[in-house]
Amino acid sequence: MKTITVRADQDFDALLTRLARRMKTTRSGVIRDAVHSYERELKREALRRRMRDASLKTHAQAKQAADDFDAASADGL
């Protein structure tokens, strides 16, 4: 594995140490897990946005179809 350096104040260092003990892993392991978790959350949020956008588009298309049907019905067809 590649080694990286992270600057941390004493409070962050203490937090990282507590988390590592609690999770029974290394401090590096805590950071790796946190970064992977953050990446998963970003991917989930991107998927939520795509789903919301698709839903809004589908809703607009359905409304347009209903409006077209109502217009055609009003014409006596």
pLDDT average, residue stretch 53-68: 90
Q: What pLDDT is stored for residue 68 in this prediction?
A: 87
Q: Which token pair is 57?
A: 């588009």
* Distance in angstroms (rounded) separating the CA atoms of residues 46 and 36: 15
Summarize the confidence of residues 31-58 as an average pLDDT: 96
Q: Which residue has the tokens 């359905």?
A: 62
Stronger pLDDT, 14 or 67, i.e. the higher one: 14
Indicate whether 52 pLDDT > 90.
yes
Predicted pLDDT at 77: 58
